Each structure stands twice: as C-alpha cells, then as structure tokens.
Amino acid sequence: MPKAERSKHEDRIALLELSLDNVKPDGAYHHLKVKVDRKSLDVEARRGYFVPKADKSKQ
C-alpha cells in the first residue's frame, strides 16, 4: 500500500492474533468467530484454521 494511503487508514485497522500454544496437533479444522460491539465497524476475518498433525517421526 502506498504510504499516503496507509496513513489514511491506520486509525481503522486492528490486527488480532491467536496463540496456538495450547492447541492439540490433531489435523482438524477449527472454526473462528470474531464479534465486535460497534455496528459501524466492518470485520474481515478468516473462518477458521487447520492445525497440522504432529510429525510422529520427530518424536
């Protein structure tokens, strides 16, 4: 994004991170749901994520 455009939107961007430290490596798809309590906000978020199975050869 060009610098001028980026600074124009900086006050409206939030980045959320999810820690996967306590997630079991089960190879499953995990759904995500993001909610905000302001009607004037638009949320763009992924619907979920996959956690790869543990590589048994490395254990």
Percent residues over pLDDT 90 in the chain? 17
Tens digit of each residue's pLDDT, the chain (59 residues): 444 444 455 566 778 888 888 888 999 999 999 888 888 888 888 899 998 898 876 65
Is 29 in contact with 48 (CB distance < 8 Å)? Answer: yes
pLDDT tens string 26-39? 999 999 998 888 88
Is 48 in contact with 32 (CB distance < 8 Å)? Answer: yes
Within 10 angstroms of residue 49's Cβ, the number of other Cβ atoms is 13
Is 30 in contact with 48 (CB distance < 8 Å)? Answer: yes
Half-sphere exposure at residue 19, Cβ-oriented, CA atoms within 13 angstroms: 2
Contacts of 24 by beta carbon, 8 Å cutoff, 6+ apart: 51
